[in-house]
Amino acid sequence: MTSPVTLLKAWNLHAKKKFGQNFLKDPSTTEMIVDRSELSKDDAVLEIGAGFGALTIPAARAAKKVYAVEKDRELIQILSAELLAQHIDNVTILEEDILKLDLLALANQEGCKLWVMGNLPYNISSQIIVKLIRFRHAVRRAVIMLQKELAQRISASPGGKDYGRLTAMTAYCADVHPIAQISASQFYPKPKVDSTVLTIDFLEPRYPAVDERHLFKVIKAAFGQRRKTLRNALAGSELHLDSAALGVLNQAGIDPGRRAETLAIEEFVRLSNLMIACGIFFPGEEASPL
C-alpha cells in the first residue's frame, strides 16, 4: 500500500472535503479490520469509498470478489494502478454514488448476500446506514468505520442522549458490535475525532412490524422533537394526532409523558402496529398496510 500522502503529491491532488475524504495511512490497520470482519473466499464485498485501495486490497485477498465503489473520478485511475501493481484481479471498480446504487441487483448478480465494508464519508454516513437497513435482505454483514460519536449513537441503549432515530431503526433489524477503535492520527488528512469500526449483522426482526414504513415514520415523528413528550411530539408531527387519537399510546401501554429516547424498539413496534389497527396513518399512506 502506497502512502496516501505520496499518492496525492505524485498526482497533484488534494483530499476533497465535499466527499468527506480521510485516507488511512497504516496498512496494518486495514488488515486488522479485514481479519476481524471474518471474510472468507466465498464472500462478495461491496466497498463504499475505495479511495486509494487501503481496504480494497486486503479485502480482495480475503474474499471472492470486491465491488469497489468510488465517486471521485480522479481517484479511480490511481486505484486501478494500485490494484495492478499488487496483482489484484478480483476487483470491479464502480464509479457510482453509493446512495443511488441498487444493492439488491448487485447481490442478485453475485447470487449471494453482500458484505458491505468501508470508511464511510462523514457527511452521508447516516444516509448510508438508512439505505443498508432498507436493502438489508441483500446484505449479510456490514463492517463500517464511522466517526466515534455516530458509532456510539448507533449502538446506544434506550434512555440516554445518544439513543435516537437511527439507533431505533438499526435495533429493529440488526445486531451491532464495535470491533476496533481507530485514532484520528491514523488518517490523512487528520480528522477532528477518532473513529470506531462496527459490525452490523442484519437479522429477522425479533418484534416484526405490520408495516415497516409506518414503523420508521412513527420513530421519525417521535424523535422529530425529542425534547418533547411523546404526546406532544406526535401531536406536533405530520400525524397531527388529537386527544382521542393519542389514546393509542395508553392502549399500547406507553405513558404519553415519556420521551422517545426511553422507548425500546419493541415498544415502537407495538405502537406502530396498534396505530395501523386503529386506522391511524400518515398523510399519503394507504388505508391498509402493504
Q: How far is CA 247 from the centre of its chain?
A: 34
> Is position 287 within any domain?
no
Q: Do 222 and 118 fall into the same domain? A: no
Is the domain of 232 the same as that of 267?
yes
How far apart (Å, rounded) are the C-alpha atoms in residues 176 and 199? 6
Based on the domain organization, do 86 and 128 belong to the same domain?
A: yes
- Condensed to tens digits (0 to 9), the pLDDT of residues 6-44 reads 887 888 888 787 777 888 998 999 999 999 999 999 999
- The phi, psi pair for 100, rounded to 5°, reads -110, -10
**pLDDT beyond 70 at 285:** no
pTM exceeding the 0.75 threshold for the entire prediction: yes
pLDDT at res. 70: 95
Task: Indicate whether 249 and 137 sit together in one domain.
Answer: no
Asked, for residue 61, whether it belongs to a domain, the answer is yes
Looking at residue 25, what DSSP letter applies?
A: -
**120 and 243 co-located in one domain:** no
**CATH number where 179 lies:** 3.40.50.150
Number of H helices, E strands in the chain: 12, 9
Instruction: State the residue range of the domain holding 255.
Output: 212-277
100 & 221 share domain: no
DSSP state, 190? P
CA gap 106, 85 in Å, rounded: 27
Q: Are 51 and 23 in contact (CB under 8 A)?
A: yes
How confident is residue 241, by pLDDT bands cut at 50, 70 and 90?
Answer: confident
